[in-house]
């Protein structure tokens, strides 16, 4: 059976969905992700859907489930790269993806995850060694 690969990147998990999801594939992703969060103690999950053309109510529910389950396990979820046509369609469909953080692209999504999980990026860590910490964390 097909599987969507989950990559570990520092404290976070990264998933890039490159194929059209059918239901069972989406369900196994949900399952695999939660297991990975538990196994690795990841603090965040980043899901890139920039190659996804269709998000229907089922897929939306899966994204919501992943976010809720991860949160219970102390990990935040950010969905990035949504195509404009998909966003327009989701709102008309009536799906607001409550509880799911979103960002425009992977880079902004990573920043958001660092922010949400109160972790410092490498860059900020290096800065802290050399200069006074600014009010970033206030």
Partner 1 sequence: MTKDTMQIVREQDVVPFRNRVRELATKIGMSLVNQTKLITAASELVRNMLKYASGGKITLEVISKTGQSGIRLTFADNGPGIENIPQAMQDGFSTGRSLGLGLPGAKRLVNEFDIKSVVGQGTTVTVTHWKNGR
* Chain positions contacting partner 1, by CB under 8 A: 20, 22-24, 53-58, 60-61, 83-86, 88-89, 92-95
Q: Which is nearer to partner 1, 61 or 108 (CB)?
A: 61
**What is the spatial distance between Cα 132 and Cα 102, in angstroms, rounded to a whole number?**
31
**What is the spatial distance between Cα 38 and Cα 34, in angstroms, rounded to a whole number?**
6
Helix, strand, coil % over all residues of the chain, rounded to 5: 50, 15, 35
Rounded to a whole number of angstroms, the minimum distance from the CB of residue 19 to partner 1 is 9
CB contact at 8 A, 70 and 34: yes
Q: Which is nearer to partner 1, 54 or 72 (CB)?
A: 54
Q: Which is nearer to partner 1, 83 or 117 (CB)?
A: 83
Residue 102 three-state SS: strand
Burial letters 87-116, b for 16+ CB under 10 A, else e: eeebeeeebebeebbbbeebeebbebbbbe
Rounded to a whole number of angstroms, the minimum distance from the CB of residue 69 to partner 1 is 16
Rounded to a whole number of angstroms, the minimum distance from the CB of residue 63 to partner 1 is 12
Q: Which is nearer to partner 1, 7 or 93 (CB)?
A: 93
Rounded to a whole number of angstroms, the minimum distance from the CB of residue 22 to partner 1 is 5
């Amino acid at each position: 059976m097909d599987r969507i690969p989950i990559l570990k990147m520092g404290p976070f998990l990264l998933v890039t969905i490159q194929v059209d999801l059918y239901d069972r594939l989406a369900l196994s992703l949900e399952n695999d992700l939660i297991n990975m969060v538990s196994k690795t103690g990841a603090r965040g999950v980043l899901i890139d859907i920039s190659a996804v053309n269709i998000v229907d109510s089922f897929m939306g529910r899966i994204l919501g489930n992943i976010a809720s389950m991860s949160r219970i396990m102390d990990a935040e979820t950010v969905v990035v790269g949504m195509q404009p046509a998909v966003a327009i369609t989701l709102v008309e469909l009536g799906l607001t993806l409550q509880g799911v953080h979103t960002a425009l692209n992977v880079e902004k999504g990573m920043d958001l995850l660092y922010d949400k999980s109160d972790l410092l990026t490498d860059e900020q860590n290096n800065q802290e060694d050399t200069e006074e910490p600014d009010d970033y964390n206030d």
